[in-house]
Amino acid sequence: MTDTNNDEIIERNFDERTEEDKEAFLTQTWCNACQAADLGMVEPKEYELNGVIIVEGKCKKCGEVSLTEVADESTDGEWEDER
């Protein structure tokens, strides 16, 4: 059986985010390769996959792809670190 997993990717424009948003995405990261948080990432791009908004970039330290899921655009700041 062929698994017809219909992954729908919708391109989004990361540059349309506010400077504050971009700054947060580019600094508040988790890298699976480094097993470390907040290393930062470069070359960000944004897309929507099956209804989930994802910001993808490369770890500043090791260059591995780092993904950040955006919980919900309407819940402003929800995904940010709890202090």
Q: Which is nearer to Zn ion, 30 or 79 (CB)?
A: 30
The CB-of-43 to Zn ion minimum distance in angstroms stands at 13
**Contact between 31 and Zn ion (CB under 5 A)?**
yes
> What is the pattern of x (binds Zn ion, CB under 5 A) and - over residues 64-83?
x-------------------
DSSP collapsed to 3 states, 21-67: HHHHHHHCCEECCCCEECCCEEEEEEEEECCEEEEEEEECCCCCEEE
Q: Is 34 in the site for Zn ion (CB under 5 A)?
A: yes
* Locus of tokens 């947060």: 24
